[in-house]
């Protein structure tokens, strides 16, 4: 038996699901520091939050700004999110799907996002969902976690493990950058989870 752990990441062209609605094309700069992303070669994270197919929050953030943001979250929240992921992520199922996908030799990684990474809920059955991917230039990294889709139910569960301080930090982040969407005000347990 030859276990490759972690599996070598593959790179595919960034699919349109990770394009910016606002740009009507790829994200090209970091939300926080406005660094250029497509030419610079630095890794960056894209996150988009949908309510009934409608993107309500979307951004790209360079690796340095992601690290800086994560360091602002409370240590207990970071640990709680890690614990949630470890106890809910079905690693062997994900690896199985990843190797099936790799065998097809396809650039289309959408099948890796058609179920919630944690609950297994199908994307079409999710009223809300959040998707996330690490990219470099015009390429998206495909590995044992990313790209990922998280169902609204799992997002609410994740919110449940966050500290008050972290919830406040995320609310400020969303409010400052996007204006707080009414969907979040209606449901205090639904806010994007910065990964
Ligand atoms: Zn940045």
Over range 17-45, report the average pLDDT: 96
Per-residue pLDDT at 89 exceeds 50 = yes
- pLDDT given for residue 26 in this prediction: 97
Dist. CA 158–CA 77, nearest whole Å: 10
Annotate 107-138 with b (16+ C-beta within 10 A) or e (fewer): eebeebbebbbbbebeeeebebbbbbbbbbbe
Rounded distance from Cα 56 to ligand 1 centre (Å): 21
Rounded distance from Cα 32 to ligand 1 centre (Å): 5
- pLDDT given for residue 1 in this prediction: 40
Over range 76-100, report the average pLDDT: 90
Write out pLDDT tens, residues 149-191. 999 999 999 999 999 999 889 888 888 988 877 777 677 677 7
Dist. CA 77–CA 129, nearest whole Å: 21
Comparison of pLDDT for 4 and 119, the residue scoring more: 119
Per-residue pLDDT at 3 exceeds 60 = no
Rounded distance from Cα 134 to ligand 1 centre (Å): 14
Write out pLDDT tens, residues 99-156. 999 999 899 999 999 999 999 999 999 999 999 999 999 999 999 889 999 999 999 9
Rounded distance from Cα 5 to ligand 1 centre (Å): 30
Rounded distance from Cα 24 to ligand 1 centre (Å): 21
Write out pLDDT tens, residues 39-59. 999 999 999 999 988 998 999
- pLDDT given for residue 6 in this prediction: 63
Question: pLDDT class for 4, splitting at 50, 70, 90?
Answer: low
Dist. CA 167–CA 194, nearest whole Å: 11
Rounded distance from Cα 136 to ligand 1 centre (Å): 13
Closest-CA residue to 194 (of 43, 94, 68, 34): 68
Rounded distance from Cα 33 to ligand 1 centre (Å): 4
Rounded distance from Cα 147 to ligand 1 centre (Å): 20
Q: How far is CA 130 from the centre of its chain?
A: 6
């Amino acid at each position: 038996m030859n276990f490759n752990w972690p599996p070598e990441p593959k790179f595919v062209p960034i699919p349109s699901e990770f394009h910016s609605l606002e740009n009507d094309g790829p994200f090209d700069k970091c939300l926080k520091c406005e660094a250029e992303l497509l030419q610079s070669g630095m890794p960056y994270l894209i996150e988009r939050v949908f309510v009934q197919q409608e993107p309500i929050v979307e951004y790209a953030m360079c690796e340095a700004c992601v690290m800086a943001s994560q360091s602002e979250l409370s240590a207990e929240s970071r640990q709680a999110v890690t614990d949630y992921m470890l106890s809910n992520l079905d690693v062997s199922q994900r690896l199985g799907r990843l190797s099936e996908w790799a065998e097809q030799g396809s650039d289309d990684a959408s099948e890796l996002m058609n179920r919630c990474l944690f609950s297994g809920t199908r994307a079409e059955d999710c009223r809300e969902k959040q998707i996330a991917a690490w990219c470099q230039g015009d390429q998206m990294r495909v590995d044992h976690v990313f790209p990922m889709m998280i169902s609204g139910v799992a997002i609410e569960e994740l919110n449940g493990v966050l500290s008050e301080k972290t919830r406040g930090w995320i609310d400020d982040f969303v409010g400052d950058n996007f204006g707080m969407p009414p969907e979040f005000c209606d449901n205090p347990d639904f806010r994007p989870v910065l990964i």
